[in-house]
Amino acid sequence: MKGYIKSFVFFFSICLITPSFAAGALDHFEVILGKESAKVGEALDITISAVDKNNEIITDYTGDILVFSESDKEAEFPNDLSENSYSFTTSNEGSVKFENAVQFKNAGKQDVYVYDLNDENILGLAEVTITENQAGANLDIEIQSPENGITIGQDSILVSGTTQKNYQVRISVNNSEGIFTTTNDQGVFEKKIEDLQQGANSIQAFVLDADDKVVGESKAISVKVDASLPSFKSITITPEGNVAADAPITITVVSSIGLTEVQAIIDDAITVLEEGKDGIYTGKSRAPKVDGKYGVDIIMKDEFAHEVREANAATLIVSGVALNAGPEEAKVETIEPNSPNAQVELDLKITGIELTELKTKSILTWDAVDDAKSYNVYKKVSATQIELVENVLEPRYEIAIVGDEMKYDDFAIKAVAMTASGETIQGDLSEMTKVQTGPGLYILLALLAFLITGGVFYISQNSGKRYS
C-alpha cells in the first residue's frame, strides 16, 4: 500500500511541475539586431520577442511597446512603428521581426531599448558597434537583370542586382533621380521600374551611404522598349468573287514583319498563315459548307505577346445549292473543234438509290456512275438549303443512328467528275431520301424496359439486404 502511495505522490508531483515548463508572466524583451557590428547608415534587421524569466516566448502577448535609441538620437527605426511604438497582435505570437529596419547615423557603440508602455520596468536592450565608412570608399554594385541591350514589349521591367548587404540603392532611369530600395542580407536588390520611354532607355544603379552619398555605381545598361502593335495592311482571298461551298481557297495577309503567329478565322474555323516573303503570310483553307456571307477575322501576334484582331478584314461569299432551283443543265466538256468528238456529254445522273436500315446505322447505296470519280453527299438543313456532309469514292454512305429520340433526315447525292482539261464538274442533285438518324421506337422501348428491369432488380436486392 505504501508503494502505491509513493507512486501516486510522484505522479502528482510531476503534474504540478509540468506547467512550469510553459511560458510564465512577461519578464523582459529579447532584442536581437542582425549584426554585432555595422557601418554608419547600414540597414539592420531587428527582432523583438516578449519572454518570461526563462526566456520562453509568451505567444499570447498583445501589449504595446516603445522602441528608441538612447545613444543615437538620429537613428532610424521601422516604418511600421507609429511614433516609435508598436502593438503586438495575436498573429505575432509574441515575436516580431523587422527587416532592414534600423539605421544608425553615428559611429560608436549604439543601443536599442524596448519598453512595455504599460510597465516601464519591463524592457529589453541590444547593442551594436557602428563604424564610419572609409573616406572615398567605392563599393561594387552590379545590375544582373535585365541583360544589356535587351528589347522588351512593355514599358516596365524588374531590375535586380547585387552589392553590399543592408545598403540603400538608387536606380536611375535616363539620368533621372530614380527610385530607392534596400539590399537584403545577401546583398541583393530588386525593384520594378515603370513608365519607360518608347525606344532606348539607360538604367544605372548607385549604392548610397548614411548621408545619401554615392559610394558605388554600376555600369549603365540599355533597355529598348518596342511597344508598337502588329499592323494589318491588306488581305487577299483567291479565287476572287463568289466561291462554291467547301471549295479550296488561299488567304494572303500583308502585315508586320516577323510575327510569331497569324491566323484567319472564317465561321469559327481557324487557318494558320505562314510567313513567306517579309510581312506576307499565306495559308490554304476551304470555304464553309453552307452558302452565305462570312466575315474573315485576322489575328496577329508578335514575340512580345502583343495581339491584334482585325475583325471583318474581308467578306467571303459562298454560293450554296438551292433545292427549288430545278434540274441543272448537263455539264458539257468542250474539246478541239476538229476533234472527232467535238462535244461530249457526261452522264452523271444518280439512279438506283436504296436504303437499308439496321439497328445502329442506316446505309444509303446507289448505282455506280461510269464517268464519276467520287460522289458528294448532301443533307437538307432547311426548306430551301442543303449542306455538303461528305465526299465519298464509292456509291455507298453509312449514317450512324445516335441520340435518344427518333429522328429522320433527308439526304441527296451528286456525282463528281473531272474533264480532260482538269475541270471538276458535278451532275444533277438526286431526289431526297428520308434516312433514319435517331433510334427507332423498338430500341427506345428496349432501353426503357432495361432501365425498369434494372431498377426493379436494384430495389429487390436492397430490400433483401434490409430484411436479412
CATH fold for the domain made of 323-437: Immunoglobulin-like (2.60.40)
Q: What Cα–Cα distance (Å) separates residue 125 from each residue in 30, 39, 71, 120, 456? A: 7, 20, 12, 13, 82
CB–CB of 201/174 below 8 Å? yes
Q: Could you tell me which residues come within 8 angstroms of residue 347 by beta carbon, excluding any fewer than 6 positions away? A: 330, 369, 370, 371
* pLDDT score at 334: 34
CB–CB of 143/293 below 8 Å? no
Parallel/antiparallel/unpaired status of strands 374-380 and 168-173: unpaired
Q: What Cα–Cα distance (Å) separates residue 249 from each residue in 59, 169, 276, 280, 291? A: 75, 60, 17, 17, 15
Question: Whole-structure pTM over 0.95, yes or no?
Answer: no
Q: What Cα–Cα distance (Å) separates residue 321 from each residue in 242, 388, 414, 419? A: 13, 10, 11, 21
**Residues forming CATH 2.60.40.10 domain(s) in the chain:** 23-131, 142-225, 232-319, 323-437
Class of the CATH domain delimited by 232-319: mainly beta
Q: Which homologous superfamily is 142-225 in?
A: Immunoglobulins (2.60.40.10)
CB–CB of 237/249 below 8 Å? yes
The residues with which 102 forms a beta bridge, in sequence order, are 44
CB–CB of 333/412 below 8 Å? no
Best CATH choice for the domain 23-131 from the list 3.40.50.300, 1.20.1260.10, 2.60.40.10, 2.30.30.90:
2.60.40.10
* pLDDT score at 6: 46
* pLDDT score at 178: 86
Query: What are the per-10-residue average pLDDT scores of the chain (468 residues)?
Result: 44 42 80 88 89 94 94 86 89 90 89 93 94 72 92 88 91 89 91 89 90 88 85 90 90 92 90 90 91 91 86 86 37 36 66 86 91 88 78 89 79 86 78 80 50 49 46
